[in-house]
Structure 1
Amino acid sequence: MSDREAPRVFITYSHDTLAHKEQVRAFATFLRVEVGLDVHLDQWYDSRRLDWSAWAIDHLTNADFILVIASPEYKRRADGAAPPDEGRGAQFESAIIRDNLTKNLRGETARVLPVVLPGRSVDEIPVFLHAHSTTRYEIEEFTVAGVTPLLAAITGHGQYPLPERGEFIGSPHHAVGPQRRAVLLASLPWLGRSADLRHGSAKIDDRHYGDSVVLRPSLFASDAKGFVEFDLGRRYRRLSSVVGVLDDATEAKQVGYFRVFVDGSPEPEVGAALGRPGLVDVDVTGVLRVRLEMYRADVVRSSLMAGVLAAGGRSANLPELAWGNPTLTPVS
């Protein structure tokens, strides 16, 4: 994922203790390095003289999301219980967040995300963020699986998206029989594909999918993104598929990204991790041609570099991903 595509994230917290500062920095580093979010933290900006108030205003104004890190001192300062000369940064930033919530409660509730790091408590979230009546994000470990609910809030792709409602069976127009039978996309002719893709079975989140599109290079990645294209002939109305990292993946920490192109136009990208599959559900009514793409952002594409890494016992970060039984619903 490029910096242009990655959401901009600002982390606000208080300097309770040295250990707390280090934990916040480790969390921010994980989100920026391993997840690819455009994260900003004050500890990374101390190499030159700054107007910290102006710096904070810029990030609080322009960030796509603000992560409020719960701690006793942040709560005390954000809730107005600290003297004015204590923790001025946290008091200043939380005052702006409170004001923004007052101006646009619905929008800022979705943008300001209270985070509880390991060892901290929900009761340390500031009162104005309504810790017990709104969603909070309790992080048990700094892994992709551990931050999946938080990533769902940032990306807008939940683990279990609301499925499309089918036609009510009590309707006099409801059709039954062969004309409504689902079609497995992978069984259709492949118009074009990348070198590393194959049609076969896949096991994702302990479920078997026999007609899958699998990306699993053996030595090095021939293409930056694995893709396959199909001719739908405007005969279908929906395309749905489970997507994910293969259960027997040798690298458990990898994250896969999946996207559908309908007649050349991209649909929103869906991310998935081991044990955390995604769901793709796309309207393909009137669509002639569809393209499925999947990739791992940190893959090494050079065969030479892959060989060098292998010789040194290091990974080329090869993707181990699949579209599990991509299925088409015919037009009624």
Structure 2
Amino acid sequence: MFRSSTGITPGTAFEPRLIEAASTCEVMLVVIGPRWLTITKGGVPSIKAPADWVRMEIEFALHNNAKVIPILVGDISMPSKDELPDTISELAGRQYIRLHHRSSRYSLDQIADSVRALVTANNGVLPPPPAQVTMLTSLGTTSRSADIKLCGANVNGRHYSESIVYRCTDFATAVRGRVGFDLGRRFRSFKTTAGVLDDAVEGGQTGIFQVIGDGIMLAEHTASQGKPCVIDLNVSTVLRLELVAYRPGTTEHPMLAGVMAISGRSNKLPELAWANPTLYA
């Protein structure tokens, strides 16, 4: 059993551990209290905020076909599909268990019995191992533009420790940041959050993010500061994966960039990130 407050030792990087636990669990209990839908972050319901860990962990579990059980605290109603983010809307159709404080012992026994029945199904034989999680940056690059760095990134108020950052200073060595990886058809899916860096000098910029598999465009998304995009793709047939990011209008030539800088005009330099790109086997 995993609970983040007790399952992560001090000094351990919590993001990879949370991703691993949520992605590989057989059963997830989603405890829903009276304020679950109304707690806000920056004026936005937390459950719908791009960096909300609760929603992301549910997404990981659903993506891996885990048994996700809503636990309703008290007499609250089960949220409807319309009240939930699209990525976890199927939670509304899951059979829930109610937890009453006045009969908590009975409720907890019911929850324990339900979980036990799920993990010991098939005559006591545990289900096959769930999908394994690999951070894309751990594979090592096969190609990389000069302005691309593998490092941490802050996107929409959240720090992502295993990111791909395309950031230029003074001038762009290449107007499109490219980085390649060898997947070898070993992975089922690819997921990342793409966006403009929180500390971008020019926060109003727009970034274009492209995912290319074996020379074929798989996806193209647009993001801006505070409005990242989530990219989730099937890559089971992909041998070579290439990620391309750019800012439209970036000055191409260093000499022209120098002239623009001297005259105080923007070279529209990109400050973009692929945040925690993740592969699922």
For residue 102 of structure 1, what is the aligned residue in structure 2? none
Q: State the Cα deviation string for residues 236-294 of structure 1 (Å, max 9, x = none).
A: 00000000000000101100010111111102211000000011111011321100110
For residue 204 of structure 1, what is the aligned residue in structure 2? 155
Supply the AA of the counterpart residue of 2:269. Answer: L
Counterpart secondary structure, 1:321: strand
For residue 216 of structure 1, the aligned residue among 151, 167, 175 is 167
Contact 1:209–1:325 (CA under 8 A) maintained in structure 2: yes
Asked if residue 167 in structure 1 is aligned to residue 76 in structure 2, the reply is no
User: Which is richer in strand?
Assistant: 2
Shift of 1:296: 0.3
Answer 1 or 2: higher relative contact order, Cα 8 Å, separation at least 6.
2
Q: State the Cα deviation string for residues 165-220 of structure 1 (Å, max 9, x = none).
A: 4324458684336xx33111012111001111011010000010111100001111
Counterpart secondary structure, 2:201: coil
* Aligned-residue identity in percent: 40
For residue 176 of structure 1, what is the aligned residue in structure 2? 129
Q: Hey, what's the Cα distance between the residues in 2 that align with 1:328 and 1:247?
A: 24
Asked if residue 317 in structure 1 is aligned to residue 248 in structure 2, the reply is no
Counterpart secondary structure, 1:267: strand
Counterpart secondary structure, 2:219: coil
* Equivalences for residues 61-76 of structure 1 within 5 A: none
Contact 1:167–1:174 (CA under 8 A) maintained in structure 2: no
Q: Hey, what's the Cα distance between the residues in 1 that align with 2:151 and 2:255?
A: 29
* Aligned structure 1 segments of 4 or more residues deviating by more than 6 angstroms: none
Shift of 1:320: 0.2
Q: State the Cα deviation string for residues 275-319 of structure 1 (Å, max 9, x = none).
A: 000111110113211001100011111101110011112211100
Q: Hey, what's the Cα distance between the residues in 2 that align with 1:182 and 1:165?
A: 12
- Structure 2: where are the runs of 5+ without partners? 1-55, 68-117
Contact 1:195–1:222 (CA under 8 A) maintained in structure 2: yes
Q: Hey, what's the Cα distance between the residues in 1 that align with 2:127 and 2:268?
A: 48
Q: Hey, what's the Cα distance between the residues in 2 that align with 1:292 and 1:240?
A: 12
Q: Hey, what's the Cα distance between the residues in 2 that align with 1:292 and 1:249?
A: 20
* Equivalences for residues 23-34 of structure 1 within 5 A: none
- Structure 1: where are the runs of 5+ without partners? 1-159
* Equivalences for residues 63-212 of structure 1 within 5 A: 165-169=63-67, 174-176=127-129, 180-212=131-163
RMSD: 2.1
Supply the AA of the counterpart residue of 1:298. Answer: G
Q: Hey, what's the Cα distance between the residues in 2 that align with 1:300 and 1:230?
A: 27
Supply the AA of the counterpart residue of 1:185. Answer: L
Q: Hey, what's the Cα distance between the residues in 1 that align with 2:161 and 2:179?
A: 17
Asked if residue 326 in structure 1 is aligned to residue 224 in structure 2, the reply is no
Counterpart secondary structure, 1:313: coil
Cα 1:300–1:174, aligned 2, differ >3 Å: closer, same or farther?
Answer: farther
For residue 262 of structure 1, what is the aligned residue in structure 2? 213
Counterpart secondary structure, 2:256: helix
TM-score by length of 1: 0.48
Q: Hey, what's the Cα distance between the residues in 1 that align with 2:200 and 2:247?
A: 13
Q: Hey, what's the Cα distance between the residues in 1 that align with 2:150 and 2:127?
A: 33
Q: Hey, what's the Cα distance between the residues in 1 that align with 2:280 and 2:193?
A: 15
Q: Hey, what's the Cα distance between the residues in 2 that align with 1:274 and 1:209?
A: 15
For residue 179 of structure 2, the aligned residue among 228, 231, 237 is 228
Contact 1:202–1:209 (CA under 8 A) maintained in structure 2: yes
Instruction: Give the total of aligned pairs.
Output: 168
Q: Hey, what's the Cα distance between the residues in 1 that align with 2:158 and 2:192?
A: 13
Contact 2:210–2:245 (CA under 8 A) maintained in structure 1: yes
